[in-house]
Amino acid sequence: MSRIVIVSNRTPGKGPAAGGLAVALRKVLSEREGFWFGWSGKLTEQPARDARIEDIDGLKVAQIDLSREDHHAYYAGFSNSILWPSFHLRLDLATIESHWYEGYRRVNQQFAKALLPLLKPDDVVWVHDYHLIPLASELRQLGARNRMGFYLHIPFPTTDALYAIPHHEELMRDLSRYDLVGMQAKRDVVAFTEFAEHQAPSTFGGHKVQAIDFSRTEVDAFPIGSDPDAFARLSVSPAATKMVNRMKRVLGDQRLILGVDRLDYSKGLPQRVEAYEKLLANNARLRRSVHLLQVAPPSRDSIKEYQETSDTLDAMCGRVMGHFAEPDWQPLTYVKRAYGQPSLAGLYRMARVALVTPLRDGMNLVAHEFVGSQNPDDPGVLVLSRFAGAAEIFPEGLLVNPFDTDETSEALRMALDMPLDERKQRWAALMKSAQKHNVDDWAVSFLNHLTQGGPDKPSATRD
Ligand code: ADQ
């Protein structure tokens, strides 16, 4: 069996893997030979060209350091200030500094140069996410003829948003150098196909550009999932129960409404707080009997737009507190820190409602983890954004348009008033779907496609 080489922006660190994705990919590497390649997390003046190979908790990891300047242009710059907002259709929050592209390209070249000497001819290379779109091109330019797959964890943009990205033609040409491109949801495949089919050379800003040949690249949806059975076990573990008991002491018989997200503008946090504010304003009977807990650890906080989202959220939570709190009742708690999976599983289990309302999201694993953690005899309700990839596989959630805070507020009310029978019915269907889309099967399915290739697909190794 061929070896598997996983490539991602960061290599996994020491200690237990934090997320389901890292656990699933470790499992792949424990069952098949191979290694994980990526950035070490270290910035140095003059990074060595060759990768360091280490054994980290039984996992073979090859990693390189980067210079501060390159890393800034590649990570905070092109990846997270241009690609992330554009792919999430937030061009208003993008900072279009096209020179960052050079740093982005340079880092992908450094990845390719350090990875190439470690590759055997029949290794299968699986590249993860938008930081590394050009990697296959760069490897192929150096002569690699391996099968290579790319998985996009975030949504694929509409053609208009794509056109706003500097060097988008090169990026799309880079995608055509993979044998397999995996997306989260069908809507992403549709958006990609729309670009691939309608790319009209003469419309590229008046330049004559050769159309991109995607004929040797298979593109399909491989929706990621979590490990819902592991969450079911975790949610009744001693660590989870400790968290549940702590919360119960504070909440009494108030019903918990829960949000768990990285603090990111794509997650729709201000809109969510506004919907909750409307719920309290329009349903006086619910005051003192519900409590919103929003857990949102800061991320990418060197980027201005992230700081602004954080400030907005601080102000909104303060407003709701000022308006509705009483000396002996608080409408919400806002916690800016990350919790371990057992504590999260406990919180998910005790929540009557999970508010998963991103404005746009590749998948959203919180939705999967919440479903996995429910008590089958008294399950909570999932209020889910239509614009999360998860909406395609969880139609039994209460689907909302997160931009419409009246609608979200009404869905919240329905969730709180939902009879036990309906909660059980909806949850049983959600759990079935979460199990069907579990993360282990996701990894196996992507790798099977990549290893075997489509029936009429010669490898994308042409020059
Ligand atoms: P993210 O944008 O990070 O991932 P998500 O899918 O929700 O979004 O994954 C978040 C993970 O981080 C979950 O496993 C969750 O448990 C964990 N997490 C979130 N908040 C936490 C907290 N406060 N404490 C501890 N853990 C927390 C990107 C894409 C998504 C896609 C995933 C996987 O943006 O759309 O689903 O990759 O492909």
pLDDT given for residue 435 in this prediction:
98
Helix (H) or strand (E) holding 365: helix 365-372
CATH topology of domain 228-436: Rossmann fold (3.40.50)
Closest C-alpha to ligand 1, atom 15: 366
Mutating to test ligand 1, I would choose from 222, 260, 265, 438 the residue with most ligand atoms within 8 A of its C-beta, which is 260
Lowest mean pLDDT among 342-346, 407-411, 451-455: 451-455
Cα of 21 to ligand 1 centre, how many Å?
Answer: 10
**pLDDT at residue 208 above 60?**
no
* pLDDT tens for each residue of 101-138: 999 999 999 999 999 999 999 999 999 999 999 999 99
Nearest atom in ligand 1 to the alpha carbon of residue 20 is: 14
pLDDT given for residue 455 in this prediction:
41
The per-residue DSSP string of 123-185 comes to -EEEEESGGGTTHHHHHHHTT--SEEEEE--SPPPPHHHHHTSTTHHHHHHHHTTSSEEEESS
Question: Which of the residues 71, 131, 153, 368 is marked catalytic?
Answer: 153
Query: Which residues are 39's β-sheet partners?
Result: 10, 64
Cα of 363 to ligand 1 centre, how many Å?
Answer: 9
Q: Is 71 a catalytic residue?
A: no
pLDDT given for residue 453 in this prediction:
73
* pLDDT tens for each residue of 296-328: 999 998 999 999 999 999 999 999 999 999 999
- Please state whether 205 falls in left (phi above 0), alpha (psi between -120 and 50) or beta: left
Cα of 263 to ligand 1 centre, how many Å?
Answer: 10
Q: Where are the alpha helices (DSSP H) in 150-288?
A: 159-163, 168-175, 186-198, 228-234, 238-251, 269-282
Question: What is the arithmetic mean of pLDDT over 224-251?
Answer: 96
200 confidence band (pLDDT: 50, 70, 90): low
CB atoms within 10 A of CB 111: 26
Helix (H) or strand (E) holding 319: helix 304-324
CA 48 vs CA 42, 206, 219, 268: distances in Å = 12, 42, 35, 41
CB atoms within 10 A of CB 289: 13
Nearest atom in ligand 1 to the alpha carbon of residue 369 is: 16
pLDDT given for residue 458 in this prediction:
52
pLDDT given for residue 252 in this prediction:
95
201: which DSSP letter? G
Question: Which of the residues 174, 227, 261, 361 is marked catalytic?
Answer: 361
Cα–Cα distance measured from residue 221 to residue 182, given in angstroms and rounded to the nearest whole number:
6
Cα of 366 to ligand 1 centre, how many Å?
Answer: 6
Cα of 364 to ligand 1 centre, how many Å?
Answer: 6
Backbone angles phi, psi at 114, to 5 degrees: -80, -30
Closest C-alpha to ligand 1, atom 10: 365
Nearest atom in ligand 1 to the alpha carbon of residue 267 is: 2
Closest C-alpha to ligand 1, atom 23: 338
User: What's the chain's average pLDDT?
Assistant: 94
Nearest atom in ligand 1 to the alpha carbon of residue 19 is: 14
**pLDDT at residue 363 above 70?**
yes
Q: How many Cα neighbours within 13 Å face the side chain of 157?
A: 21
CA 44 vs CA 170, 333, 355: distances in Å = 29, 40, 41
User: The tokens of 416 are what?
Assistant: 């709180």
Cα–Cα distance measured from residue 265 to residue 301, given in angstroms and rounded to the nearest whole number:
12
pTM for the model stands at 0.95
> Which of 407, 411, 405, 440 minimizes the C-alpha distance to 426?
411
- Tell me, yes or no, if the two domains 4-221 and 228-436 fold the same way: yes
Closest C-alpha to ligand 1, atom 9: 365
Question: What is the arithmetic mean of pLDDT over 283-289?
Answer: 97
Stronger pLDDT, 56 or 86, i.e. the higher one: 86
Cα of 39 to ligand 1 centre, how many Å?
Answer: 20
pLDDT given for residue 463 in this prediction:
47
Return the percentage of the chain with pLDDT > 70, whole number.
94
Nearest atom in ligand 1 to the alpha carbon of residue 390 is: 36
- Please state whether 258 falls in left (phi above 0), alpha (psi between -120 and 50) or beta: beta
CA 331 vs CA 246, 273, 337, 412: distances in Å = 18, 11, 19, 15
The SS3 of residue 29 is: helix
Cα of 15 to ligand 1 centre, how many Å?
Answer: 19
* pLDDT tens for each residue of 370-422: 999 999 999 999 999 999 999 999 999 999 999 999 999 999 999 999 999 99
Tell me what ipTM this predicted complex has: 0.99
Backbone angles phi, psi at 263, to 5 degrees: -75, 95
CATH topology of domain 4-221: Rossmann fold (3.40.50)
Cα–Cα distance measured from residue 86 to residue 101, given in angstroms and rounded to the nearest whole number:
14
Give the pocket of ligand 1 (CB within 6 Å).
19-21, 153-154, 224, 260-262, 295, 297, 338-339, 344, 361-366, 369
Cα of 367 to ligand 1 centre, how many Å?
Answer: 10
Question: What is the arithmetic mean of pLDDT over 183-197?
Answer: 95
| Contact status, residue 416 vs residue 256, Cβ threshold 8 Å | no
26 confidence band (pLDDT: 50, 70, 90): confident
Domain parsing of the chain, residue ranges: 4-221, 228-436
Question: What is the arithmetic mean of pLDDT over 44-71?
Answer: 95
**pLDDT at residue 454 above 60?**
no
> Which of 193, 186, 144 minimizes the C-alpha distance to 172?
193
Cα–Cα distance measured from residue 183 to residue 65, given in angstroms and rounded to the nearest whole number:
29
User: The tokens of 379 are what?
Assistant: 């399950």
Mutating to test ligand 1, I would choose from 231, 363, 385 the residue with most ligand atoms within 8 A of its C-beta, which is 363
User: The tokens of 158 are what?
Assistant: 């509409």
Query: Which residue type sits at 245?
Result: N
Nearest atom in ligand 1 to the alpha carbon of residue 388 is: 35
Q: Is 153 a catalytic residue?
A: yes
Q: Report residue 214 CA to chain centroid gap.
A: 25
Closest C-alpha to ligand 1, atom 14: 19
